[in-house]
Amino acid sequence: MEDRTRHLMEHLPYLRRYARALTGSPARGDALVTRALEWYLESDDADDAGEPLRHALYRRLNALQDEAGAAAAAASSHPVEAALATLDEADRRVYLLVNLEDVSVADAAALLDIPAEEAVERLSRARETVRAHLQAVILVVEDDAIIAADLSETVRGMGHLVCGNATTMDEALTLAAEHTPTLALMDIRLAEGDNGVEVARELRRQRFLPVIFVTAFPDELAKRGLEHLGPVIPKPFTRDQIEQAITRAVFTPAAEETREAARPT
């Protein structure tokens, strides 16, 4: 039982993220996860489902949400969640599984009991709908012009806006003040000896701004005990990594103390 519980806990952050997105509510999502965990721990044949444990639990979360009534998912003022709420439910679940949870399209189709070709069509339709409803404003903080151009092209390809590219701390803070971006893609080693970690900390002090670090020095945050500042994508990166990280960033629940710090005084 201890081994089963430990294995289960490894998947808990992913299950909570998916359930919160699925229900549109942190409280309802966590309640759904609790029921799914209880099912797994009390079931003698849960491990014999013939699919990875996390996938089996995603399937269970979907079933529990269906029992509760998918149409009853809480309304949200969050721009991404509001855009997803306009989707057909099957389209929305394909989108969440692939873009948020990094499940392959084939596995998402299997989880939802639909043909793979249908999953591809639903994912394409969902992505187009979300793009039509949402444009995030993203700040690129990168002193390598080629990498900055690549990141900017990827952001624009997702349908988002790039408010500018900064190469130093002063430029980053100036652009952030002028454009109030919703997300920053941040290198750690910047021009003029500036450090992206310090830029992120200052942006956090001034107002909460989610940051994704894109760097050739992926261990620097861990060495300084600052992993909470944001996820890290090591260079060289792929465009899929950037796209998935951006999608995940907007769904990651902020800590309550972070929300409090972000409120104007």
Both 211 and 167 in one domain: the answer is yes
Provide the domain count of the chain. 3
**Residue 208 in contact with residue 256, Cβ under 8 Å?**
no
81 band by pLDDT with thresholds 50, 70 and 90: confident
Both 143 and 257 in one domain: the answer is yes
When pLDDT is averaged across residues 253-263 and rounded to a whole number, the result is: 40
The residues that bridge with 164 in the sheet, in sequence order, are: 139
Task: Determine the structural domain holding residue 109 and report its residue range.
Answer: 75-134
pLDDT, residue 51, reads 80
Both 68 and 83 in one domain: the answer is no
247 band by pLDDT with thresholds 50, 70 and 90: confident
> Can you tell me which residue has the tokens 């465009």?
239
SS3 214: strand
pLDDT, residue 6, reads 78
Name which of 176, 250, 228 is nearest 207 in CA terms.
176
SS3 241: helix
Both 155 and 168 in one domain: the answer is yes
pLDDT, residue 207, reads 78
Element (H, E) at 165: strand 161-166
Both 140 and 244 in one domain: the answer is yes
Both 68 and 81 in one domain: the answer is no
CATH of the domain at 166: 3.40.50.2300
Both 168 and 258 in one domain: the answer is yes
Residue with more model confidence, 74 or 161: 161
Both 96 and 14 in one domain: the answer is no
CATH of the domain at 48: 1.10.1740.10
Both 85 and 121 in one domain: the answer is yes
Averaged confidence pLDDT in the chain:
86
Give the model confidence (pLDDT) of 94-136 as tens digits: 999 999 999 999 999 999 999 999 999 999 999 888 877 767 7
Both 29 and 100 in one domain: the answer is no
CATH of the domain at 126: 1.10.10.10
Domain boundary among 53, 73, 93: 73
pTM above 0.75, yes or no: no
pLDDT, residue 261, reads 36
State the alpha helices, DSSP H only, in 114-160.
116-133, 145-157
